[in-house]
Structure 1
Amino acid sequence: MKPKVGDMAPDFTAEVAGGEYGESSSISLSDLRGSRVVLVFYPKDQTPGCTTQACALRDGWGKLPGEVKVFGVSIDDLKSHRKFIEKQSLPYPLISDPDKEIVNRFGVWVEKSMYGKTYMGTERSTFLIGADGRIEAVLEKVAPKKHLEQLLDALG
């Protein structure tokens, strides 16, 4: 079940690469308390929609408040994340969730369909988490080209 505005964000510990975390590190959401955190869930590194979304966030990086910590989250492994970060010059870290623990806790591992076939995948959603650990905003099924604009509105 997807957490709603006002709920405590589900805690997790996962591997992360990029930004201040370098090649590889471990991070827990609870360690980030005291800062606003943005978790950008996306389906897959290096795919057209995800690249469009990631590059729009990169290009609009200077518009985001400096104190906000932004993380991309997908089920890709760290090797894939490092390639994506390098190829697209992403300024923010990517969290690896190969066991689908985080996508399940945030309710974004869902049934999808394409060309008449159904399959399980990550719903493109973004969660804005307040410094107190509560969810301030949920952007569901965002369009890659409109994501930055919606995120800036949510950040106020």
Structure 2
Amino acid sequence: MAILNVGDDAPSFELDTDAGERVSSRALQGKPIVLFFYPKDDTPGCTIECKEFRDAKASFEQRAFVFGISPDDVASHQAFRDKYALNFPLLSDPGHQVAEAFGVWAERKPGSFGILRTTFIIDQGKVIRVFEGVKPEGHAAEVLAALP
């Protein structure tokens, strides 16, 4: 499946967070959703990206819901959150159904599938911005600047 485009309906999702709570996209109202897909907890690029979103939390708080999402399980997310004092929810997509629905679960090299580092801004059920081929450094600021 191809990566979703601006104007596409955003797939609804319901996933567990690092805190063991269930989050439903349908219940998130009043501000846009930033959903950043990253490959794996506690790896160099993913750590940089998550720490930048952590450091920008105050800037995002009034403007968007922010979620990191990867195929890691809740226990992995908890350890990653605790190690780096992450202050936003990490969503666990171990069966990569949500990643597939957004088109970011793909063959990264022959015979090896994984997450394509991609961020979506969703507003009122529609994709309003897509960042493909994300470079972790500076990405949180780039997303913040793109928020409506």
Q: TM-score, normalised by structure 2?
A: 0.93
Counterpart of 1:42? 38
1:137 aligns with 2:138: no
1:112 aligns with 2:113: no
Deviation at 1:35, TM superposition (A): 2.5
1:89-108 matched pairs, under 5 angstroms: 89-108=85-104
SS in 2 for 1:70: strand
Distance 1:12 1:61 in 2: 23
Distance 1:13 1:101 in 2: 10
Counterpart of 1:12? 13
- Number of positions where the alignment pairs a residue of Structure 1 with one of Structure 2: 147
Counterpart of 1:77? 73
Gaps of 5+ in 2: none
Alpha-carbon RMSD across the aligned residues, in angstroms, is: 1.4
SS in 1 for 2:6: coil
Distance 1:76 1:65 in 2: 25
Gaps of 5+ in 1: 18-22
Counterpart of 1:124? 117
Deviation at 1:65, TM superposition (A): 4.9
What residue identity is the alignment partner of 1:120?
F
